[in-house]
Amino acid sequence: MAIKNKEDLLFKSIDEISQLYRSKVVSPVEVLEATLELQRELEPRLNAFITVMSEAALNKAREAEKAFVKGEAAGKLVGVPVSIKDIFMTKGIRTTIGSRILQDFVPEGDSHIYEALQKAGAIVFGKTNMLEFAYGSVHPDYGQCNNPWDVTRTAGGSSSGSASSVAAGIGFASIGTDTGGSIRLPSSFCGIVGLKPTTGQVSSSGLFPLSHSFDHIGPMTRTVRDNAIVLESISSKPGNFESIFTGSIKGTKIGVIRSLIDSLTHHEVEEIINSAINRLSDLGAEIIEIEIPEISNVKEFAFPILLSEASYYHQKWYPDRSADYANGTLMNIKEGFNISAVSYLDAIQKKREFTEKVNSAFEGMDFLVCPTSPSPATKRDPSFEDTEYDFTERTLPFNVSGHPAITVSAGQTPSGNLPVGLQFLGRHNDEASIYNAADVFQSASGGYKHPSFTQLNHK
């Protein structure tokens, strides 16, 4: 497997990098050094990282290199550079959660995610930029994270730096969080693969919560198969995802959530999504149009839950440190304190009822599909106050219901060459079906496409 240049090396799949290590064509130290060099080179334009742990990562890479020389290394993530969103606790390493309030906070313990990645032998080299407290706005102290396809546009949020860095070749995976679309929306904007697993699939131990009812943790990668490799390492439930890839979706029944396509107002996105559904049909799947009752009204009962739970975690700082929050975050926290217990409990009941409606939509279907985002990447970070598009309309429903959802690029817009995401939705605990379908689709679409270094260096 020839290595032509840095770009060729850093856009390999995890499987390919693992094979290169085993055959001693390249070493973990070489790959990490190239990753850190690219991070320094692109960071002024991307603003994807809050903390980079270069020295600790290099020590870990040297250990991995020795293991490969001795023939000891086993797992596919051994020696592979990855990053994590700066919302996960890392013992002795600053964890800001994108906020001024915690700008100097150093945890005394590790999150499950950090421990799991370390145990798998991955090299965690950085903590990525994000919207403040994974909520509505980026804090001005950290600044917007930009999109490698067009650095004048946002990478999306709240897992901003995770999506931007992986799309740009800075690390082979990142771990994000998703409470209303915060893995899937930036993944869609940046053209990568982002999974929101089933509720509880990945332990939230050591995660600073936004809304415990809706929070999910998942991998962000360039290929579907890479995503499965990472999930297997961080999942709280044992599984062998390598065995699920059949290379075919022939004979499967796909439920297309028609209302979530018909409500699109961005014509290029609509055309790309319809073309993607035609491709699924060409691949041998049976396309069946379905509707999910109340899906367009989810915000009415999701927001009372999300807002009030989020405010619960800010009691120690609000209102005394109001001036330290970004304006959008502060507005949401204030609103959360205005929600009554009766309204909250009523919303919890409606959440249960909606989950059953989504369960019913799977009857006779192998999986469901819909768009991920109503538009390609915007100039600035979308917010709850955005009136042009409802960015969470196609993602939030599945945080409410807890079903697994994965986004994969469906193509690029003709006008701006910006990625558009297609979302695959599965039954509870059936990540396997959507992984296989998304992999077949990604392969049929030509595999992962990345922005060029030349493009990044000249914008």
The 3-state secondary structure of 258-307 reads CHHHHCCCCHHHHHHHHHHHHHHHHCCCEEEEECCCCHHHHHHHHHHHHH
Based on the number of CB atoms within 10 Å of its own CB, is 367 exposed (0-12), middle (13-18) or buried (19 or more)?
Answer: buried
Would you name the residues annotated as active-site residues?
85, 158, 182
Angle of helix 160-167 relative to helix 28-46, nearest 10 degrees, comes to 120
Within 10 angstroms of residue 202's Cβ, the number of other Cβ atoms is 25
Cis-peptide, bond into residue 360, ω within 30° of zero: no
pLDDT for the residue numbered 239: 79
Q: Kind and range of the H or E element at 152? A: strand 150-154
What kind of fold does domain 21-457 have according to CATH?
Amidase signature (AS) enzymes (3.90.1300)
pLDDT for the residue numbered 2: 55
Provide the 8-state DSSP code for 67: H
Q: What is the chain's pLDDT, residue by residue, as a tens digit (459 residues)?
A: 457 688 899 999 999 999 999 999 999 999 999 999 999 999 999 999 999 999 999 999 999 999 999 999 889 999 999 999 999 999 999 999 999 999 999 999 999 999 999 999 999 999 999 999 999 799 999 999 999 999 999 999 999 999 999 999 999 999 999 999 999 999 999 999 999 999 999 999 999 999 999 999 999 999 999 999 999 999 998 878 888 999 999 999 999 999 999 999 999 999 999 999 999 999 999 999 999 999 999 999 999 999 999 999 999 999 999 999 999 999 999 999 999 999 999 999 999 999 999 999 999 999 999 999 999 999 999 875 566 789 999 999 999 999 999 999 999 999 999 999 999 999 999 999 999 999 999 999 999 999 986 566 544
- Total number of residues shown for the chain: 459
pLDDT for the residue numbered 4: 66
Q: Which two tokens stand for residue 162?
A: 């995770």
